[in-house]
Structure formats: C-alpha cells, structure tokens
C-alpha cells in the first residue's frame, strides 16, 4: 500500500483522480483488489479534497461511480464466463479458500451479500463475479450493492477528508454545514458498524 501512496503523492491532482478511478473500478472489475486494498486510495482522495486540490463532491461521486462500474463489470464477466473464471490462471491464484468464503456468503444471503461484501476484504473483490456466474440477476443485487458502495466507499473518502482537519478546525465551524456533515458522518459510521457486525456474524457461522 505504501507504493500506491507514494505514486499518488507524485501525481497532479487530476491524474490522481484518474488513477483512483481506475484502481477503484479495477478492484472488482479486473480483480485488482487481490493485489492490494484500495482504502488507501480513497483516503488519499478525501485528503486531497480537504486540501482543496480536488472538489470534494465531484471526487466522491467519481469514486462511487467507479466502484459501481467495477462491480457491474465483474458481474458481467461472471455472467459471461461462469465457472471458467474460477478455473482460470488468475482464479487459481485467488485460492479456493477465498472463493469458497465468497461462495458461502452469496448462497446464504443472496442479493444482501453485495452489501456485506463491501466491508470484507477480498470477498468484495470476488462476490460480484460469483453472483454473475451463479446466474443471479443484476437487479437482485444492484440496490444492496449500491447501498454497500455508498456507505463503504463514501465513509472512506469522508474519513480521508476529516483526517486532514484538526479537531480545533472542526470545532470552530458552525451552522448547518457542520450539522449536516456530522449527521452524514454519523449515518455512515452506523452503517459501517452494521456492515462489519453482519460480516463478523457471517464469518462466525461459516
């Protein structure tokens, strides 16, 4: 992850966003998430937004869109190639244990697994592709997937933004902007805790 951070630090802000879009979409779309988690990328984008290097809302929307696009691409790949993906050279490198873990979550929870998977490293990389290969219709998981992307990706970008501000700076802000930000952060935090608790419960059962 340090190598990714070093790369991002050396790039102009516009190129950082471009690289971030490719990494976030590629996490599931081309299984980049098996090489490294993209959390550091999302945190860095949020930090850049705090510094004013990139506009926060457009950057956030880009990250959300990239994650959704990557998941859709992964589902389509699974739909087209089915079990062949699992038996491919890349699929074998993933390891049967990771495939089996994602498989169990998908078959137990169906479309809901798309939400929980967003909070579980590696599983979120594999699950959309497995869902497509299992014949699950995209409309069966799109709402859950969107909720997972919104809470997981959104909270990571927002956390990066807030990490750039000191407690004193945040405390000095007033008005509805601060209230809205704090309420939004609280909602994301609660959703994150729910997602992690559901993920832990699923792991305990398996």
Q: What percent of the chain has pLDDT over 90?
A: 14
Q: What is the pLDDT averaged over residues 46-54? A: 87
Q: How much is the pLDDT for 179?
A: 44
Judge whether residue 203 has pLDDT over 90. no
- Of the candidates 67, 35, 95, the one whose C-alpha atom is nearest the C-alpha of residue 103 is 95
Domains identified in the chain, total number: 1
Output the average pLDDT for the chain: 74
Judge whether residue 174 has pLDDT over 50. no
Instruction: Let me know if 156 is exposed, middle or buried by CB neighbors in 10 A (0-12, 13-18, 19+).
Output: buried
CB 25 within 8 A of CB 33: no
Q: What is the pLDDT averaged over residues 46-55? A: 87
Query: E strands within the chain?
Result: none
Residue-wise pLDDT for 94-133, tens only, equals: 666 777 777 777 777 777 878 887 887 777 877 788 787 7
Token pair, residue 182, equals 């704090």
Q: What is the pLDDT averaged over residues 61-89? A: 83
For residue 109, the enclosing domain spans 2-205
């Amino acid at each position: 992850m340090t190598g990714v951070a070093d790369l991002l630090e050396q790039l102009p802000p516009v190129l950082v966003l471009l690289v971030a879009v490719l990494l976030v979409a590629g996490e599931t779309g081309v299984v980049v998430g098996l090489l490294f988690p993209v959390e550091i990328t999302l945190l860095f984008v949020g930090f850049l937004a705090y510094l004013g290097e990139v506009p926060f809302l457009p950057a956030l929307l880009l990250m959300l869109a990239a994650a959704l696009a990557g998941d859709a691409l992964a589902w389509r790949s699974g739909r087209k190639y089915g079990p062949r993906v699992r038996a491919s050279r890349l699929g074998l490198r993933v390891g049967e244990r990771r495939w089996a873990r994602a498989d169990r979550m998908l078959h137990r929870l169906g479309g809901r697994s798309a939400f929980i998977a967003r909070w579980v490293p590696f599983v979120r990389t594999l699950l959309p592709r497995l869902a497509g290969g299992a014949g699950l219709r995209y409309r069966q998981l799109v709402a859950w997937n969107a909720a997972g992307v919104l809470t997981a990706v959104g909270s990571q970008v927002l956390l990066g933004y807030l990490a750039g501000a000191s407690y004193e700076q945040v405390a000095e802000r007033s008005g509805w902007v601060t209230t809205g930000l704090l309420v939004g952060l609280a909602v994301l935090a609660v959703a994150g805790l729910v997602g992690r608790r559901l993920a832990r419960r699923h792991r305990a059962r398996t």
